[in-house]
Copies of this chain bind each other. A is one copy, B any other.
Amino acid sequence: MSNKIKPSILPGFMELLPNEQLIFNDIASKVTGVYEQNGFLPMDTPVIEKEEILLAKSAGETEKQVYRIDNKDRKQVLRFDLTVPFSRFAAQYMGELTFPFKRYQLGKVYRGERNQKGRYREFYQCDVDIVGNGSLSIKNDAFVISMASKALKKIGLKTYKFQISNRKILTGILEGLKVQNMQEVMTLIDKYDKITEEQFLSDLNKFVGEDNAKTIDKVIKISGSSSEVIEGLKNIDVKNEMLDTGIEEVEEVIKYLKLFGVEDNEYAINLKIIRGLDYYTGTVFETLLIGNESYGSICSGGRYDNLAQNYTTSVLPGVGMSIGMTRLFFVLKEIGFIDKYQSSLNDKYLIIPIGDTFEYCAYILKKLLEKGKSAEIYFEEGKLKKKLTYANKLNIKYVILVGEDEVNNGEFDIKDMVTGEQKKLKLSSIDLEH
């Protein structure tokens, strides 16, 4: 190994072996398939963009984590999410897009995060967003959540629960209570799950005084069915217009969720949900895995009043959500879901020539491919056992064996690698299902 370089990748990057990559791709194509079927258009933007575009809005933590290209002439950075490029895209091509513009995007994004288990510096996000020109119906908020529901159902995941809120509710309450340091209180509620109850209450008292703290604490702890939570909210003794709008919007979202096929047991109203990013202005939601809540949200999003304000004076309200596909895959591995994953992949065939039968094998291959099957011929010399091992390792279900006797009799042997069953078939039967 003297002058050889040890093959390795950078820390914090995910790389999969083929069997897992097949599952990753199958999951990704199911998710994007759902979005496409529901009218979302594909979008693809450069991984590298101008720094002044991607960092137009000073991004605090993000700015520290951004990957920069080493180039003296022009400041270029790697995208750290798909939302900022989308907002640039919407503003740039506004005249050529048809609104409401519904897009999905699957792509890699980059963040120089501290290296830790389950956190990646390069990861796939899969986003959907709907953006209107001037206005956008609240139905879209429910529709976007229903996309998350359909996507997760499609991949066979059942143990999730959407946590839905609307920022106008808490903002309205705080406005109604004439709380001055609203941002501070929102940040505190945002980290409710990460601190102790005692710490939370003590900070809240400090920020807003005892009376207001009691009211706020009561609000965020309202729980139960959606109608119970809405009922509870209506009974809170705070009068504020934004609060009323927030409650109305949640009611509308709940109503349309049902029409879009999202069942009652798939979601809860959770008034503690804020979503740190400050561009959300209405509906917000996260998605917890039941029994595995500690992994955090696997899918989240919400409504923003004005997507592209850094690039255009036009008002483009939108609603969207994002699944961190790389992180989702990691979590699904951790909880054992990937091991049991039912892939939608085709059964595969391996054709093994024994002796001088290659031409006959090529004919069988052609026939199988014409039928839409996945099939290949084993080309190399070697022991039959090695070839069967190849089939086993690659999860190939059917092995077709062709010796010279089979060619002379117009037949082939087919072995089911799962059941071990082997039978001899006529060549003409290749057009039938096995």
Q: Distance in Å from the Cβ of A3 to the closest Cβ of chain B?
A: 9
Q: List, in ascending order, chain B residues with CB within 8 A of A137's CB.
A: 379-381
Q: List, in ascending order, chain B residues with CB within 8 A of A8's CB.
A: 50, 53, 92
Q: A35-58 CB contact bits vs B (8 Å, 1 = yes)?
A: 011110111111111101100100
CA of A376 to CA of B170, assembled, Å: 33
A4 within 8 A of B: yes
In contact, B376 and A17 (Cβ under 8 angstroms)? no
Q: List, in ascending order, chain B residues with CB within 8 A of A372's CB.
A: 37
In contact, A108 and B47 (Cβ under 8 angstroms)? yes
Q: Distance in Å from the Cβ of A282 to the closest Cβ of chain B?
A: 15
In contact, B15 and A46 (Cβ under 8 angstroms)? yes
In contact, A41 and B22 (Cβ under 8 angstroms)? yes
Given contacts A4-B310, A5-B311, 19 further A-B contacts (CB under 8 A): A1-B312, A5-B53, A6-B311, A9-B46, A9-B88, A10-B49, A10-B74, A16-B44, A18-B43, A21-B43, A36-B374, A37-B373, A39-B375, A41-B394, A48-B67, A69-B69, A139-B358, A139-B379, A140-B379
Residues of A within 8 A of B (CB): 1, 4-10, 13, 15-18, 21-22, 24-25, 36-39, 41-50, 52-53, 56, 67-70, 74, 76, 88-89, 91-93, 96-98, 100, 102-103, 108, 110, 122, 132, 135-137, 139-140, 143, 259-261, 308, 310-313, 346, 348, 350, 358-359, 362, 366, 369, 372-377, 379-381, 389-390, 393-394
In contact, A97 and B17 (Cβ under 8 angstroms)? yes
Q: List, in ascending order, chain B residues with CB within 8 A of A139's CB.
A: 358, 377, 379
CA of A350 to CA of B102, assembled, Å: 13
In contact, B91 and A10 (Cβ under 8 angstroms)? no
CA of A53 to CA of B7, assembled, Å: 7
Q: Report if A311-B108 is in contact (Cβ < 8 Å); known contacts: A13-B48, A374-B39.
A: no
Count chain B CB atoms within 10 A of each CB in A41, A102, A348 and give the residue with the most: A41
Which residue of chain B lies nearest to A57 when distances are taken between CB atoms in the complex? B5
Q: List, in ascending order, chain B residues with CB within 8 A of A312's CB.
A: 1, 4, 7
CA of A9 to CA of B85, assembled, Å: 10
CA of A67 to CA of B68, assembled, Å: 10
Q: Distance in Å from the Cβ of A398 to the closest Cβ of chain B?
A: 13
CA of A68 to CA of B78, assembled, Å: 11
Q: Report if A15-B89 is in contact (Cβ < 8 Å); known contacts: A108-B47, A374-B37.
A: yes
A-B contact pairs, 10 of them (CB 8 A): A4-B310, A4-B311, A7-B308, A10-B50, A13-B46, A18-B42, A18-B103, A38-B374, A67-B70, A70-B70
CA of A93 to CA of B407, assembled, Å: 38
In contact, A359 and B259 (Cβ under 8 angstroms)? yes
In contact, A369 and B311 (Cβ under 8 angstroms)? no
Q: Report if A122-B379 is in contact (Cβ < 8 Å); known contacts: A4-B310, A374-B37.
A: no
Q: List, in ascending order, chain B residues with CB within 8 A of A359's CB.
A: 259
In contact, B15 and A376 (Cβ under 8 angstroms)? no
CA of A9 to CA of B281, assembled, Å: 28
Q: Distance in Å from the Cβ of A389 to the closest Cβ of chain B?
A: 8
In contact, A7 and B91 (Cβ under 8 angstroms)? yes
In contact, B380 and A46 (Cβ under 8 angstroms)? no
CA of A125 to CA of B96, assembled, Å: 28
Q: List, in ascending order, chain B residues with CB within 8 A of A358's CB.
A: 139, 259
In contact, A21 and B41 (Cβ under 8 angstroms)? yes
In contact, B48 and A122 (Cβ under 8 angstroms)? yes
Q: Report if A25-B42 is in contact (Cβ < 8 Å); known contacts: A137-B379, A261-B366, A313-B1.
A: yes
Q: Distance in Å from the Cβ of A24 to the closest Cβ of chain B?
A: 8
Q: List, in ascending order, chain B residues with CB within 8 A of A393's CB.
A: 98
Which residue of chain B lies nearest to A143 when distances are taken between CB atoms in the complex? B379
